[in-house]
């Protein structure tokens, strides 16, 4: 069990009972968006999920996306709007554009 007690499922907000490793490490821009050379490889946090959604994600019935906007940096259901208004995007290597 690697889930912190306060973790909630990224898909439904219920208390999380499971944590999945992110499918891919992704590249994130540094604090200065105007400097494209400032790229860092970030290790994304584990994806906290409740038992039900953990099963669905493992079975491929649900896809978890990531919002890379600085104010968000959270997981959510792929394609759904995040808190900043951008849709959660697929986790992919070298996600540059
Ligand atoms: Zn859930
Ligand atoms: Zn967002």
Residue whose C-alpha is closest to residue 53's, from 79, 71, 75:
75
Q: Which residue has the higher pLDDT, 4 or 80?
A: 80
Residue 86 predicted with pLDDT over 50: yes
Q: How far is the CA of 37 from the centre of ligand 1 (A)?
A: 37
Region 76-95 average pLDDT = 84
State the Cα–Cα distance between residues 40 and 7, nearest whole angstrom: 26
Among residues 52, 71, 63, 46, the alpha carbon closest in space to that of 13 is found at 52
The pLDDT of residue 5: 52
Mean pLDDT, range 71-90, rounded to an integer: 93
**pLDDT digits over 20-29, tens only?**
888 655 555 5
CA of 87 to the centre of ligand 1 (A): 19
Measured from the alpha carbon of residue 89, the closest ligand is 2
pLDDT per residue as tens digits for the range 10-66? 999 999 999 988 865 555 555 666 666 666 666 788 999 999 999 999 999 999 998
């Amino acid at each position: 069990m690697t889930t912190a007690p306060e973790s909630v499922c990224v898909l439904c907000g219920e208390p999380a009972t499971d944590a999945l490793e992110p499918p891919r490490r992704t590249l994130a821009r540094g604090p200065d968006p105007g400097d494209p050379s400032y790229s860092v490889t970030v290790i994304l946090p584990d994806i906290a999920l409740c038992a039900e959604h953990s099963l669905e994600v493992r079975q491929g019935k649900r896809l978890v996306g990531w919002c890379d906007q600085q104010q968000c940096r959270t997981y959510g259901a792929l394609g759904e709007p995040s808190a900043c208004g951008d849709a959660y995007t697929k986790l992919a290597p070298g996600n540059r554009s």
